[in-house]
Amino acid sequence: MDGTRVWLKAFWGFDPSEDGMLGFTRLGDRSNFIANWQPGDLVLIYGASSAQTDSTQRRQALGFLEIEPVEIPHTDRLSPRGSQRRIELDSQDRWTYAVPAKRAWRVTRPINIKSIAPFTYSAKNARNTASRGMLMQAVEASAALALPVKPVNVFGEAPVDLSGAEFPMASLFSPSRGLKPTFGSRTAVYADGDTYLYLHKLEGQAAELIGRSALSMVGKVVVKIGYSNDPTRRSEELNAGFPPASRTRWKTLAVSGKFPSAEDAKAAEDFLKAELAVKSESLGREFFLGAESTFLTTFASASRSTAMQICAVS
């Protein structure tokens, strides 16, 4: 998640299971946020220094939101309990200009926001962090992404598994390291040899599968990268996980020429992941979101040693 941008915004609490959105009191503040939002951005919510905030949560880092930069009425993502709480706090006229939250994570350890964001969290920025949100400096974002978190449900989204252990926020979208190839006897003998780097493109309902709007996916594709001694078989294995009637399928976008060994192919895969983590949006492990042209040109660079044999698949 190196380079991930994190916004800082204050609220009276953090309960996405009741308020499945990020809200703004002024239309211009929401417009400013959407105009400056970039794919992959996260929002860190901290407890405002106000009487309405529980005393244990004031000035504490509370949780992260992943949002979709789409204008919605706040009532679209407000549960009955959330609506009742607004009445109790006499805040019906606040945060009515909203964008939907897609996923959320609660910070599991008490941590004062000043220790995470000493530059952005300041007296001169207090009004802006409360009303419109502010981008944290890169060093602050790195500190924020090191916080331990657990996922929480978001009102309006499908329930998530809440049973897992906590993990550093930074690990969520980080590209995975390729499995180190091993050889020898198990129940069969795996021999080193010719191996190919592949690039698969997800066709069909990609937006729904990753929880994005169709509008936000214009000009973008979801891809999976990897290496195999038989890319065609690997594609068939991946598609076997979809129901036969599904319109969603992995399609082979490109295959390299032969690498002389699995170690060489793994090195090329590691290079490709590192490059795509910068040039596109990591969706975790070996999956990325971005422009198809970017994936093809970066794939060609990673496969340069076999460039004369690269073949695009129609």
Give yes or no: residues 141 and 29 share one domain.
yes
Whether residue 121 sits in one domain with residue 68: yes
- State the pLDDT confidence band at 169, using cuts at 50, 70 and 90: very high
**Domain shared by 103 and 197, yes or no:** no
Q: Residue 1: inside a domain, yes or no? A: no
The predicted-structure confidence for 66-90, as pLDDT tens digits, reads as follows 999 999 988 888 888 888 888 887 7
Dist. CA 77–CA 19, nearest whole Å: 6
Residue 118 falls inside a structural domain: yes
Q: What angle do CA 90, 47, 152 make, to 5 degrees?
A: 95
Q: Is 91 exposed, middle or buried (0-12, 13-18, 19+ CB in 10 A)?
A: middle
- Backbone φ and ψ of 6, nearest 5°: -130, 125
Residue with the larger pLDDT of the pair 115 and 90: 115
- Which residues form the domain of 88? 6-171
310 band by pLDDT with thresholds 50, 70 and 90: very low
Mean pLDDT across 167-172: 88
Per residue in 116-157, pLDDT (tens digit) is 999 998 877 877 887 788 999 999 999 999 999 999 999 988
Whether 179 is covered by a domain: the verdict is: no
Single residue among 150, 171, 192 that ends a domain in this structure = 171
Is residue 232 situated within a structural domain? Answer: yes
Domain-terminating residue out of 171, 197, 227: 171
Specify whether 123 is located in the same domain as 56: yes
Percent of the chain with pLDDT over 90: 46
Residue 92 pLDDT exceeds 80? no
The predicted model scores a pTM of 0.59
Residues 245 and 306 in one domain: yes
Give the C-alpha separation, 103 to 94, whole Å.
22
Residue 241 located in a structural domain: yes
Does pLDDT of 191 surpass 50? no
Q: Is residue 176 part of a domain?
A: no
pLDDT value, residue 1: 44
According to the model, what pLDDT value does residue 192 have?
Answer: 53
Predicted confidence (pLDDT) per residue in 14-72, tens digit: 999 999 999 998 999 999 999 999 888 999 999 988 888 889 999 999 999 999 999 99
Q: What is the mean pLDDT of residues 161-189?
A: 68
Domain harbouring 134, CATH code: 3.10.590
231 inside domain: yes
One domain, residues 148 and 194: no
Bridge partners (DSSP) of residue 42 are 6
Same domain, 144 and 251: no
Counting DSSP H helices and E strands in the chain, the numbers are 9, 17
With a cut of 60, say whether residue 160 has pLDDT above it.
yes
pLDDT band at 164 (very low <50, low <70, confident <90, very high): confident
Q: What is the mean pLDDT of the chain?
A: 85
**Domain tally, the chain:** 2
The answer to whether residue 251 is domain-embedded is: yes
- 203 and 96 together in one domain: no
Report the Cα–Cα distance between both ends of the chain, in Å, rounded: 33
At position 77, the amino acid (one-letter code) is R
Q: Is residue 269 left, alpha or beta, with left meaning phi > 0 and alpha meaning psi from -120 to 50?
A: alpha
pLDDT recorded at residue 173: 65
Strand segments, DSSP code E, in 61-143 are 61-67, 72-73, 97-107, 134-135
Final residue of a domain: which of 102, 136, 171?
171
In this structure, the chain runs to a length of 314
DSSP-derived pairing of the beta strands 6-11 and 42-47: parallel
pLDDT, one tens digit per residue, over 240-267 is: 887 766 778 888 999 998 888 888 888 8
Number of neighbouring beta carbons within 10 Å of residue 106: 19
- The confidence band for 189, taking pLDDT boundaries of 50, 70 and 90, is very low
**Residue 165 DSSP SS3:** coil
Mean pLDDT over 212-239 rounds to 86
Predicted local distance difference test score (pLDDT) of residue 194? 76
92 and 150 together in one domain: yes
On whether both 23 and 138 belong to a single domain, the answer is yes
Mean pLDDT over 283-288 rounds to 89
Q: Are residues 301 and 197 in the same domain?
A: yes
Give the count of alpha carbons within 13 A of 61, CB side only. Answer: 31
* 64 and 131, same domain (yes or no): yes
3-class secondary structure, 265: helix
pLDDT at 190 (0 to 100): 42
